[in-house]
Structure 1
Amino acid sequence: MEPMFSPPLHRQRHQFVIDFVKRYKPKKVVDLGCSECSLLKKLKFHREIELLVGVDINGANVKKKMHGLAPISTDYLQPSYDQLRVELYQGSVTQKDARLRGFDLVTSIELIEHLTLADVECFSEVVFGYMTPGSVIISTPNSEFNPLFPRLAGFRHSDHKFEWTRAEFKSWALKVCLEYGYEVTFTGVGQAPPGQQEGVGFCSQIGVFHRRGGRECCNMLFCDHTENVFSYTLLYSINYPSLHDNNIKRRVLVSEVLYWAEKLKRSWMAKKTGERDDTFTLCQAEGEGEDCLRALERNMEMEEKQTAACGAAMRNTVEPQDGEDGGLFWTNDRGEQESSALHRCVCVPLTLLWSSSQKVSALSGSLSNLRHLLMDDPEVKLSPDGSAVLLNYQEQDHENEGEDPDDLEDSGYAEARQCSHTAEPEEDWEANV
């Protein structure tokens, strides 16, 4: 067979599913016959999906590619509020499993033609009668298109048990709708040459099924006493990092607080020594969208305001005085002398951090909650009254000499730097179509 489609047909089928997901925003999606997980790898980026499941009878194929569904470094460094769980199972689509009931969307892309006609009946009962999803997308080869393939004899794949005409596919689909309470529309991907579309149809025909009554009908069905069976074997499961996880949320918040505290400290120290701190000015422009340009235009004004506020907040930290024993002492706001070992630091008020970083305020929710979240964290040193973050006065600790302070990340985990996953190139088993 010679190449006929651009983009390749398998990508057009996947794009059809992606477009459906963008339009209807299903939260729970399962791909039956997921094989090497190529469709799942694309769907994981659509974070309206909260549960993404793949099922295939060939567990070895799934295991080869399943790690391509793992979170990448960016997911850990910049977790969002979106939740995503990925699960992969080994099992037959002719067997029931209660864990797959009530999904918003079931996809079956070029799978049904690999089943015997007896198994197609079981497939219909399992998918439409037992799983009862809100929507189903089924694609299968259109045998009427086959004569357009040069040198094709027989079926398109050696494992195909049949290949339906458009009339045969329509007959099966309408029967399913009648028995299980669905309605269907027909379409496809892979256009025929000009002038032949009406005569042969699409290369891959697609049926899009919607349950009559929608989700409310599905909820009523789960009130019955349908058997709960678990016939599939779980091969892989992973929860993507999300700010809904309190531990992750705390880590991101701490990282953001330390980043901004260091920036504010550097700005204050630069002002004190008469040096310009361009690093702090630029960090104000690291906003999102149009705010970035506006921040750049106002950077000088913002620097002056932030520096003044920071200096005012730190005014209680006075110059050291010589003690009787030659040591250095500081005078606190009550006129009492204390050892310089307790005060050789810069105080960055939480109120200043709150007003400087939208991310800090968004993550913590309130100043009191910010104080509470930082109080027990070993990475953050708070003042005795919990009103400020304490940082070393020196630019760098001795153990960190040679490091660039500007290399601080504004969010995420250090350990995530060591973890990266390169997406596998997609293998096109249908490269000639």
Structure 2
Amino acid sequence: MEPMFSPPLHRQRHQFVIDFVKRNKPKKVVDLGCSECILLKKLKFHREVELLVGVDINGTKVRKKMYGLAPISTDYLQPTYDQLRIELYQGSVTHKDARVRGFDLVTSIELIEHLTLADVERFSEVVFGYMTPAAVIVSTPNSDFNPLLPGLAGFRHRDHKFEWTRAEFRSWALKVCLEFGYEVELTGVGQAPSGQQEGVGFCSQIGVFHRLGGRDGCHMSLGDEVEDVFSYTLLYSVNYPSLHDSNILGRVLVSEVLYWAEKLKGKWKEEMTGEGNGAHTLRQPEGGEGCVSERCTEVEEKQTACGAEKRNLVEQCGKGASEDQEEEDEEGFWTNGEKRQDSSTLRRSVSVPLDVLWSCCPKVSALSGSLGNLRRLLMDDPQVKLSQDGAAVLVNDQELDFEEEEEDHNDLGDSGYAELGQRSHTAEQEEDWEANVDLEDAALFTGQ
């Protein structure tokens, strides 16, 4: 049997909120009656939201699902400049708390029908008079629709204190607007069968309230003394990784620099082994963006050669060096502080100029902002070794056996061995009636 609503009604209500968020791009959103955080889990993917808050009187339900809102591994591996903080509180929507004032959007999905009428008055005062959000979305069952629901006797859920008709909901909404300075659009989700929509309306009726004057038209009827009210209990909070965090920015930048330095070193070595055209230039690596081939001559002229005949982007240093030559090397390529490891071994470093990295790697330039910033950000990182003048990244190439290198020197001749200089009460509760309709697919229209 086909379900009565497709998608199920609770999903249509959530999608209504998501569509609103996509259109209006609120930065601060609070969901009253968040329960098991189903709506929050959907909203966290809309990264225009910078602060996402859930409030529910049932702390047990919140604790049960709150860790599902934590960042996942890809959020840490590929952070963006988007910022998101999530906070979950235990508290009543009839109580005030300064931490949820002045938001761009407040949602109350199938909540107010669980309150007594006296608490509805307090809810109105807290949400519209105290919290003063720019927009509020309130959904509640429409009792005019109830005769179309098969097998329904009484309210849709045993905890409902009332279920308003469309006229009653409209009356409450207009009263709120007059008292607290809002305007409202009445709509809903869950359409009636063909020909009956006008007579009964939507299964869930929705009021979308907008504060008069927009985000700057804050209507304060309760005075400033409420600023110090903190009645909610914080259950969970988390900041998603963002490139606005200097530590995270530094980690991602270093990761990119080391990756591209190794890639550029490998590309140069391929060309030097004869797979290229024999020219000692650094060309654009496969999959890279931008090209630095036109700058290679300029880069070559900036490099210090160990021998007069070995001027290039990458050069071998210290091979069979005398004490004088070693001293000269220290001033040139031995800037990583790793000279001869013992009497028979020598560590080679490849020097990758920062301006080459800057030109080859758009992400490196985007993250650092300028060549000067790039040098400054890398300077104090223990994973990165810079040349003495700070103009190049030093990448370890390999350890060579010094004595074997001497033996092979005559065979190698001037072969070009070289080194490069080196990222509510309760949450939306599924009504008893809805659970039967959506989960058991048992409810059908009977031609009414």
Contact 1:2–1:150 (CA<8 Å) still a contact in 2?
no
Task: State the shift of 1:281 in Å.
Answer: 3.7
Cα deviation code 1:88-127 (max 9, x no counterpart): 0000001111111111100000001111111111101110
Q: Tell me, in whole angstroms, the C-alpha distance in 2 between the residues paired with 1:351 and 1:219.
A: 55
Task: State the shift of 1:322 in Å.
Answer: 2.4
Contact 1:330–1:337 (CA<8 Å) still a contact in 2?
no
5+ residue gaps, structure 1: 286-294, 296-301, 397-411, 413-425
Alignment-derived partner of residue 113 in structure 2: 113
For residue 362 of structure 2, the aligned residue among 334, 358, 371 is 358
Q: Tell me, in whole angstroms, the C-alpha distance in 1 between the residues paired with 2:198 and 2:179.
A: 30
Alignment of 1:79-94 (within 5 A): 79-94=79-94
Contact 2:270–2:276 (CA<8 Å) still a contact in 1?
yes
Contact 2:96–2:126 (CA<8 Å) still a contact in 1?
yes
Contact 1:80–1:243 (CA<8 Å) still a contact in 2?
yes
Contact 1:59–1:90 (CA<8 Å) still a contact in 2?
yes
Report SS of the residue matched to 1:133. Answer: coil
2:176 is the counterpart of 1:176: yes
Report SS of the residue matched to 1:273. Answer: helix
Q: Tell me, in whole angstroms, the C-alpha distance in 1 between the residues paired with 2:376 and 2:106.
A: 44
2:70 is the counterpart of 1:70: yes
Alignment-derived partner of residue 290 in structure 1: none
Aligned CA distance change for structure 1 residues 47 and 240 (closer, same or farther; 3 Å)? same
Instruction: Tell me the amino acid that sits aligned with residue 348 of structure 1.
Output: V
Alignment-derived partner of residue 134 in structure 2: 134
2:390 is the counterpart of 1:386: yes
Aligned CA distance change for structure 1 residues 130 and 323 (closer, same or farther; 3 Å)? closer
Q: Tell me, in whole angstroms, the C-alpha distance in 2 between the residues paired with 1:349 and 1:200.
A: 72
Contact 1:314–1:346 (CA<8 Å) still a contact in 2?
no
Count how many residue pairs are aligned between Structure 1 and Structure 2.
Answer: 388
Q: Tell me, in whole angstroms, the C-alpha distance in 2 between the residues paired with 1:383 and 1:221.
A: 64
Instruction: Tell me the amino acid that sits aligned with residue 181 of structure 2.
Output: G
Q: Tell me, in whole angstroms, the C-alpha distance in 2 between the residues paired with 1:49 and 1:68.
A: 17
For residue 368 of structure 1, the aligned residue among 342, 366, 372 is 372
Larger radius of gyration: 2
Alignment-derived partner of residue 288 in structure 2: 284
Report SS of the residue matched to 2:125. Answer: helix
Instruction: Tell me the amino acid that sits aligned with residue 116 of structure 1.
Output: T
> Aligned Cα RMSD in Å?
3.2
Instruction: Tell me the amino acid that sits aligned with residue 384 of structure 1.
Output: Q
Contact 1:93–1:123 (CA<8 Å) still a contact in 2?
yes
Report SS of the residue matched to 1:352. Answer: helix
Contact 1:2–1:149 (CA<8 Å) still a contact in 2?
no
Contact 1:80–1:242 (CA<8 Å) still a contact in 2?
yes
Alignment-derived partner of residue 255 in structure 2: 255
Q: Tell me, in whole angstroms, the C-alpha distance in 1 between the residues paired with 2:173 and 2:303.
A: 73
Aligned CA distance change for structure 1 residues 257 and 427 (closer, same or farther; 3 Å)? farther
2:352 is the counterpart of 1:348: yes
Q: Tell me, in whole angstroms, the C-alpha distance in 2 between the residues paired with 1:125 and 1:113.
A: 16
5+ residue gaps, structure 2: 278-282, 306-314, 401-422, 439-448
Report SS of the residue matched to 1:393. Answer: strand
Q: Tell me, in whole angstroms, the C-alpha distance in 1 between the residues paired with 2:349 and 2:119.
A: 73
TM-score by length of 2: 0.79
Aligned CA distance change for structure 1 residues 73 and 313 (closer, same or farther; 3 Å)? farther
Report SS of the residue matched to 1:283. Answer: coil
TM-score by length of 1: 0.82
Report SS of the residue matched to 1:344. Answer: strand
Contact 1:382–1:388 (CA<8 Å) still a contact in 2?
yes
Report SS of the residue matched to 1:274. Answer: helix
Aligned CA distance change for structure 1 residues 344 and 144 (closer, same or farther; 3 Å)? same
Report SS of the residue matched to 2:352. Answer: strand
Task: State the shift of 1:169 in Å.
Answer: 0.4
Report SS of the residue matched to 2:384. Answer: coil
Q: Tell me, in whole angstroms, the C-alpha distance in 2 between the residues paired with 1:259 and 1:427.
A: 49
Q: Tell me, in whole angstroms, the C-alpha distance in 2 between the residues paired with 1:12 and 1:154.
A: 23
Contact 1:54–1:89 (CA<8 Å) still a contact in 2?
yes
Alignment-derived partner of residue 264 in structure 1: 264
Contact 2:292–2:359 (CA<8 Å) still a contact in 1?
no
Aligned CA distance change for structure 1 residues 96 and 304 (closer, same or farther; 3 Å)? same
Cα deviation code 1:241-279 (max 9, x no counterpart): 1111111111111111111111111111111112469x9
Report SS of the residue matched to 1:30. Answer: strand
Task: State the shift of 1:74 in Å.
Answer: 1.2
Instruction: Tell me the amino acid that sits aligned with residue 272 of structure 1.
Output: M
Q: Tell me, in whole angstroms, the C-alpha distance in 1 between the residues paired with 2:248 and 2:331.
A: 40
Report SS of the residue matched to 1:178. Answer: helix
Q: Tell me, in whole angstroms, the C-alpha distance in 2 between the residues paired with 1:190 and 1:24.
A: 23
Report SS of the residue matched to 2:393. Answer: strand
Report SS of the residue matched to 2:22. Answer: helix
Q: Tell me, in whole angstroms, the C-alpha distance in 2 between the residues paired with 1:395 and 1:191.
A: 74
Report SS of the residue matched to 2:385. Answer: coil
Q: Tell me, in whole angstroms, the C-alpha distance in 2 between the residues paired with 1:77 and 1:336.
A: 33
Cα deviation code 1:215-251 (max 9, x no counterpart): 2221877984445211100000011111111111111
Instruction: Tell me the amino acid that sits aligned with residue 140 of structure 1.
Output: T
Task: State the shift of 1:353 in Å.
Answer: 0.8
Alignment-derived partner of residue 166 in structure 1: 166
Instruction: Tell me the amino acid that sits aligned with residue 45 of structure 2.
Output: F
Aligned CA distance change for structure 1 residues 383 and 118 (closer, same or farther; 3 Å)? same
Q: Tell me, in whole angstroms, the C-alpha distance in 1 between the residues paired with 2:375 and 2:16.
A: 48
Cα deviation code 1:31-84 (max 9, x no counterpart): 000011010011111111111000000101001111111111111111111111
> RCO higher in 1 or 2 (8 Å CA, sep ≥ 6)?
2
Instruction: Tell me the amino acid that sits aligned with residue 358 of structure 1.
Output: P
Alignment-derived partner of residue 322 in structure 1: 320
Contact 2:347–2:399 (CA<8 Å) still a contact in 1?
no
Contact 1:310–1:348 (CA<8 Å) still a contact in 2?
no
Instruction: Tell me the amino acid that sits aligned with residue 24 of structure 2.
Output: Y
Instruction: Tell me the amino acid that sits aligned with residue 355 of structure 1.
Output: S
